[in-house]
């Protein structure tokens, strides 16, 4: 950490339905962060409507950047580099943030860094709020479970920006499974928090849902689980007009949490990881957090709730390490809607 140069990064994130900007110092200290959510707009459609998302980003991006600078009491003169999410994400959404970042970089003559959104999620565990004591940094080798709306994968990090992908989902991501099951149960968008809320009063052992047996123990598959919930819903609907939504949600959630938890612990043991890191929107799930927090074998890093779902602070953190290691982008880079982490 000592050899890294001090730098203040302004970052922009527009990969999906959140228009976000943040200023972060030295990769860890968060000076300001604004997230303009479009959740209410997309809730009407039961999911993110891509064209609407990109138009909304166009409307929000300049005020969001201005508010972020205001909140930090800084101007662009105080910034050392601009980081921006290059992918993965919705092309039309990514383009808005990318063009804003290019405009800022051109206008200020600052370097620009195109950041992988998944790397951003991982680096959210390095962040703490300005004025607070710096918590210990995650230590390598680190087993990173990435669980977002589009991705579920296990990566071994042996150093900064170094990922060995051990396994990933063969079909749905964990977040996608939450979203699909929410729809099946008639719960509102976004699905993850709705399922969690319904599950609070449900019985997690009432329904025994199947777990996929896979050749690679670090891979995931959630499509069979979703189909099992669908069959159960259809069977129950024939029996009664009221669905035991809470028990179905709790049993589904308990199955997902158990799969994610056990595979991550096994992968950490098998690869002699020192610590575990959990990142991405699903890391906001309380039972998942509790599962990791209630074991003592590994120290586990899970970001605070505000940094679990999409935000720009995490893009600034990953951007800082990329910048520090000399990974500055040209201003003619394009967005990469399907950009793997490794």
Nearest CB to ligand KG4, comparing residues 138 and 192? 192
d(CA 85, CA 97): 7
d(CA 338, CA 340): 6
Is there binding between residue 190 and ligand KG4 (CB under 6 A)? Answer: yes
Q: Which stretch binds ligand KG4 (CB under 6 A): 125-133, 170-178, 216-224, 269-277?
A: 170-178
Nearest CB to ligand KG4, comparing residues 11 and 105? 11
Q: Could you tell me the end-to-end alpha-carbon distance of the chain, in angstroms, rounded to an integer? A: 23
Is there binding between residue 202 and ligand KG4 (CB under 6 A)? Answer: no
Nearest CB to ligand KG4, comparing residues 284 and 315? 284
- Take residue 135 and report the two structure tokens written for it: 């918590």
- The strands making up 18-25's β-sheet, listed across from edge to edge, are 112-116, 81-87, 8-13, 18-25, 29-37, 128-129
Minimum gap (Å) between residue 305 Cβ and Zn ion: 14
Is there binding between residue 175 and ligand KG4 (CB under 6 A)? Answer: yes
Nearest CB to Zn ion, comparing residues 148 and 253? 148
Kindly identify the residues of this chain, within the stretch 98-137, that bind ligand KG4 according to CB under 6 A: 121
Give the alpha-carbon dihedral of 265, 266, 270, 273, to 10 degrees.
Answer: -10
Q: Give the 3-state secondary structure of residue 118.
A: helix
Minimum gap (Å) between residue 315 Cβ and Zn ion: 10
178 binds, among Zn ion, ligand KG4, none (CB under 5 to 8 A by kind): ligand KG4
Q: Give the 3-state secondary structure of residue 81.
A: strand
Q: Are 72 and 23 in contact (CB under 8 A)?
A: yes
- Take residue 227 and report the two structure tokens written for it: 């189909």
Q: Which run of H or of E encompasses 13? A: strand 8-13
97 binds, among ligand KG4, Zn ion, none (CB under 5 to 8 A by kind): none
Minimum gap (Å) between residue 151 Cβ and Zn ion: 8
Kindly identify the residues of this chain, within the stretch 261-280, that bind ligand KG4 according to CB under 6 A: 280
Kindly identify the residues of this chain, within the stretch 137-166, that bind ligand KG4 according to CB under 6 A: 148-150
Q: At what angle do helices 191-199 and 245-270 cross, to 10 degrees?
A: 110
d(CA 120, CA 313): 8
Task: Candidates 119, 179, 232, 247: give the one binding ligand KG4 (CB under 6 A).
Answer: 179
- Take residue 110 and report the two structure tokens written for it: 């600052």
Q: Which stretch binds ligand KG4 (CB under 6 A): 24-32, 42-50, 172-180, 201-209?
A: 172-180
Kindly identify the residues of this chain, within the stretch 284-303, that bind ligand KG4 according to CB under 6 A: 284-285
d(CA 316, CA 334): 19
Q: Which stretch binds ligand KG4 (CB under 6 A): 63-71, 228-236, 282-290, 318-326?
A: 282-290
Nearest CB to ligand KG4, comparing residues 14 and 329? 14
d(CA 205, CA 255): 9
283 binds, among ligand KG4, Zn ion, none (CB under 5 to 8 A by kind): none
Minimum gap (Å) between residue 63 Cβ and ligand KG4: 21
Give the residue from 297, 322, 314 showing the smallest Cα distance to 148: 314
Is there binding between residue 204 and ligand KG4 (CB under 6 A)? Answer: no
Q: What residue ranges bind ligand KG4 (CB under 6 A)?
A: 16, 121, 148-150, 175-176, 178-179, 190-193, 196, 280-282, 284-285, 309-310
């Amino acid at each position: 950490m000592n050899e890294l140069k001090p730098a203040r990064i302004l970052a922009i994130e527009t990969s999906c339905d959140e228009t976000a900007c943040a200023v972060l110092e030295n990769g860890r200290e968060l000076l300001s962060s604004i997230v303009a959510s479009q959740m209410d707009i997309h809730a009407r459609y039961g999911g993110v409507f891509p064209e609407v998302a990109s138009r909304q980003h166009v409307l929000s991006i300049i005020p969001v950047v201005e508010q972020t600078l205001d909140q930090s009491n800084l101007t662009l003169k105080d910034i050392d580099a601009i980081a921006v999410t290059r992918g993965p994400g919705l092309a039309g959404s990514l383009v808005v943030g990318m063009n804003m970042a290019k405009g800022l970089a051109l206008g200020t003559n600052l370097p620009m860094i195109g950041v992988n959104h998944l790397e951003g999620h991982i680096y959210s565990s390095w962040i703490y709020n300005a004025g607070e004591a710096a918590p210990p940094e995650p230590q390598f080798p680190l087993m990173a479970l990435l669980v977002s709306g589009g991705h579920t994968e296990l990566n071994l990090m042996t150093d900064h920006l170094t990922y060995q992908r051990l396994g990933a989902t063969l079909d749905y991501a964990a977040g996608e499974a939450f979203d699909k099951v929410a729809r099946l149960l008639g719960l509102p968008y976004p699905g993850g928090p709705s399922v969690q809320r319904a599950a609070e009063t449900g019985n997690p052992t009432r329904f025994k849902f199947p777990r996929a047996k896979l050749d690679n123990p670090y891979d995931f598959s959630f499509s069979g689980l979703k189909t099992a919930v669908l069959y159960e819903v259809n069977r129950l609907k024939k029996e009664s007009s009221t669905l035991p939504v809470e028990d179905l949600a709790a049993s589904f959630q308990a199955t997902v949490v158990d799969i994610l938890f056990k595979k991550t612990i096994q992968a950490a043991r098998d690869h002699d990881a020192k610590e575990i890191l959990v990142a991405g929107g699903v890391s906001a799930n309380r039972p998942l957090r509790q599962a990791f927090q209630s074991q003592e074998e590994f120290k586990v890093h899970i970001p605070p709730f505000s940094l679990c779902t999409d935000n720009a602070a995490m893009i600034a953190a990953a951007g800082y390490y990329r910048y520090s290691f000399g990974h500055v982008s040209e201003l003619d880079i394009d967005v990469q809607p399907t950009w793997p982490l490794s």
